[in-house]
Amino acid sequence: MNEDNLAEYRTALNRLKDGQPKNVPKGTKITKDAVSLEAGRGKGSIKKSRPVFAQLIADIEAAAVEQSLTKRRVEQQSDRLKSEIKDLRIQLDAALSREMSLVYELFEVKHALAKINNSKVIPIRGRNSATGDPNGRD
C-alpha cells in the first residue's frame, strides 16, 4: 500500500469528520467501512490485519468517539432548550393571567367610579385632556 492510497483514506476521514462527505450520505456514522466507501474503495478494505492501517484505524476510532460525544452534547442541549421553552411558556401563561386579572379589576374599579359619579357611560379608555388623545397617551 503506498502513501497516496493512505492519504486518500485520511482525506476521506477528514471529510466525514467535517460533515462534508462526497460518496456517503451526510451524517453517516464514522466507521472503517464508511471511510473506505468515502475514499472510493470497497467495504472492508481497511483491515486490522494490515499494519499500514494501524494508525488510520486508531484515528477512525477516535473520530467515532468524538462524533458520538458531539451527538450526545447536541441531544443534551436540545433537551435543556426544550425544558427552558416549557418553563418560559408557563411564565408567559402566568403573566397573561395576571394581566387579564388586572384588566378585569380595572374595569370593576371604573364601573364603581361611574356609579359614584352617577355616570351611565363607562369609558373603556381614558381621554387625555391635554393632548386630546383618546387612548390616554401623552
Angle at 101 between CA 95 and CA 102, to 5 degrees: 90
Q: So where are the chain's domains?
A: 3-97
Instruction: Give pLDDT tens digits for 33-50.
Output: 999 999 998 888 888 888
DSSP letter at 19 equals T
Higher pLDDT, 120 or 8: 8
- Band (pLDDT 50/70/90 cuts) for residue 133 is low
pTM of the full structure:
0.56
Alpha carbons 32 and 10: distance in angstroms, whole number = 11
- When mean pLDDT is compared across 7-21, 96-110, 111-125, the lowest value belongs to 111-125
- The identity of residue 7, as a single letter, is A
CA distances from 40 to 6, 14, 64, 100, 113 (A): 12, 14, 20, 65, 84
**Residue 137: is its pLDDT beyond 60?**
no
Average pLDDT on 82-97 reads 97
